[in-house]
A and B are shown apart, each in its own frame.
Chain A
């Protein structure tokens, strides 16, 4: 076995490919190398999990509510329109 397999993915490479991986945009060979690295690297597993958590957290942000002044202005228009 050679000491540094040229095809083995490094952690530094992996963090740049996470989005392609999550979007299913990695070519099959790269996806395999990504999965092989993950299987052996708990740190990158945590990293990928944090990226997933980030996406989910963004999806659960609460809605902004309308400022009272803006609602009043709209009601003014509504009453003229009515």
Chain B
């Protein structure tokens, strides 16, 4: 009889899958591919300009896993090793394709200039006698918790569409920070961006997503 797998047994389960993979077990390979497809694809999107390129990078990553699994000694976690393969493949690829704009250039252009978090027409004028620069069209309570907000497929597609439509540096930062849950420091290191610029990009991206959710969940 097998023991059912609970959350805190994931590491044990993963060790079992890796052993099985070394023994050329196809089902173990499929389990790992399914388990990591989402995170790998999102990480690949950080480096790739399009979904199709990102999917190719993920494919190449799994080929790298097959080539390297017999030499993988488990000093780092499998996940760390896997993500490192992806990042290396993605970087090799973008060096090959010289048209790729470096992140620093994207970050510089996306942090320049003003980009108000909220449309200026939602505030009273600076010359208002009592309440200068205070709300005239304030936000109203969405009356739902975050997981309720995303219950419908339509809402999830909507938010996915908003993320996809963000300027590239903003998209990369918000994907790693808020969707993948990386720390600010990890993002600064991975993208080679200053703390301040990381925060400006995150702020602009979050403000846009909030605006889109507000529009979707009804402001009036």
Which A residues have a C-beta under 8 Å from some C-beta of B? 4, 10-13, 15-16, 18-20, 23, 25, 41, 43-44, 46-47, 49-51, 53-67, 70-71, 73-75, 77-79, 81-82
Find residues 96-142 in chain B having any chain A CB closer than 8 Å to their own CB: 116-118, 120, 123, 132-135, 138-142
Which single member of B142, B179, B202, B210 contacts A61 (CB below 8 Å)?
Answer: B179
Interface size band for B: 35 or more
User: Which applies to chain B's interface (DSSP): helix, strand, loop or mixed?
Assistant: helix
A-B contact count (CB 8 A): 140
Residues of B within 8 A of A41 (CB): 134
CA distance A58 to B146 in the complex (A): 9
Known A12-B133, A57-B213, A82-B24: A71·B179 in contact at CB below 8 Å: no
Taking the closest CB of chain A, its distance from the CB of B219, in whole angstroms, is: 11
In the bound complex, what is the Cα–Cα distance between A11 and B123 (angstroms)? 8
Residues of B at under 8 Å CB distance from A?
24, 26, 29-30, 33-34, 37-39, 41-42, 55, 58-59, 62-63, 66-67, 116-118, 120, 123, 132-135, 138-142, 144-147, 149-150, 156, 159-160, 163, 174, 178-179, 181, 184, 195, 199, 202-203, 206-207, 209-210, 213-214
Residues in chain B near residue A75, CB distance under 8 A: 26, 29-30
Known: A10-B132, A58-B178, A64-B38. 9 other contacts (CB 8 A): A16-B116, A19-B199, A43-B134, A46-B140, A51-B206, A54-B209, A55-B206, A75-B30, A82-B26
Closest CB-CB distance, A34 to chain B, in whole Å?
14
Within 8 Å CB of B66, what residues of A?
A: 77-78, 81
A78: chain B residues at CB < 8 Å are 26, 29, 66
